[in-house]
Structure 1
Amino acid sequence: MNEIAEVLAGSLAGAALTVLKIAPIIILLTIVYQFLRDWRGLSGKVGRYTRWLGRLGLGRGAIVALGAGLFLGIVYGAGVLINEGRSGTSSRRELFILAFFLSVCHAVIEDTLLFVVIGGSTLGILGPRIILALIATWLLAKLLPLEE
């Protein structure tokens, strides 16, 4: 029984240390996202990305959901996607393309930071995910018929 208690104590200590490394990253990303979402100057800043969004079959309204999914993960991004769908600011085609992109490439900042904290390679984690997502989404946007 003493051996089990030692293993349990070691496991709890390891888990606590991991939480102490990860929590600041999650908290900081959440604060930054909330700030950007509430910042009125953001809409003027996203104009330069409209052309790239268009190449992926996405409109200007997709930037918030895309940012949420990329920075905070697919669950948070899905919540924003649902709100986008309900608000009617994005077409069903755009929502489908955006959901596809985020299913391939989500939480790139959060995941990369978390893996770098435990010794992962930034470029090795980030590069393939983004390249694959961009190519696959571009192909989908080309093949998916336009809405009538």
Structure 2
Amino acid sequence: MINILMEGLKGSFNSIYSIAKIVIPLMILLQIAKDYKFLDKISKAFEFLTKFFHMSKESTLPLLVGIIFGISYGAGVILQAAKEGNLSKKDTFLISTFLVICHAIVEDTLIFVAVGANGYLLFGIRILAAIIITYILAKRFNFEEYTLDKEPTSIE
């Protein structure tokens, strides 16, 4: 029984160490990119992505942050941009849709590669699925009909 526990603890610590080797440097890079406004510069190069989805150029930075650094940090940037009035409801919806499917693409892929997954396959499928679904929603969904400002109707 003790051997099983020791084996489990050893495996757990090895997994945590493998993940920490990836996550800690990424978090350091994130802080450096934030401090030197590098993310703002990169977002200009990726404005074509938001044009493809018929979103405003202000949605580029929140989308990129979510793709690269994860949904929780991306959500913070999305909420801040929405509070400042830079994002429409359509932009917010499409960014959220894309990020639900494809967030933290660098970090998650590296973590799954560390535990044996095929990184190219994982990366490719997530990006492709996010692009296709977000594009279809951008073209087909009537954003004017659905708003968060309306009071819900009661069922009588």
Letter of the 1:51 counterpart: F
- Residue aligning to 2:53: 56
Q: Distance in 2 between matches of 1:15 and 1:125?
A: 23
Task: Report the Cα offset of residue 107 of structure 1.
Answer: 1.6
Quote how far apart the aligned CAs of 1:146 are: 5.6
* Contact 1:57/1:97, CA 8 A, preserved across alignment: no
Choose between structure 1 and 2: higher helix proportion.
1
* Distance of 1:40 and 1:108 partners within structure 2: 21
1:1-148 counterparts in 2 under 5 A? Answer: 3=1, 5-40=2-37, 42-145=39-142
Q: Give the superposition deviation at 1:141.
A: 0.9
* Unpaired runs of at least 5, structure 1: none
Contact residue 29 and residue 71 of structure 1 kept, 8 A: no
Q: Report how far residue 41 of structure 1 moved.
A: 5.0
- Go from structure 1 to structure 2 and tell me whether the alpha carbon gap of 1:45 and 1:70 turns closer, same or farther (over 3 Å shift): closer
Q: Given that residues 68 and 76 in structure 1 are in contact (C-alpha distance below 8 angstroms), is that contact kept between their aligned partners in structure 2?
A: yes
Pick which of 56-65 and 108-117 moved more: 56-65
Structure 1 Cα separation of the partners of residues 26 and 60 of structure 2: 17
Q: Structure 1 pair 10/44, CA: closer, same or farther in 2 (3 Å)? A: closer
Whole-angstrom CA distance in 2 between matches of 1:40 and 1:69: 16
Q: TM-score, normalized by length of structure 1?
A: 0.85
* Code of the aligned partner of 1:21: S
* Contact 2:39 2:61 survives alignment (8 Å): no
**Shift of residue 9, structure 1, vs aligned partner:** 1.9
The alignment of Structure 1 onto Structure 2 pairs a total of residues equal to 145
SS at match of 2:46: helix
Structure 2 counterpart of 1:62, which letter?
S
Q: Distance in 1 between matches of 2:103 and 2:20?
A: 19
* Residue in structure 1 matched with residue 150 of structure 2 by the alignment: none
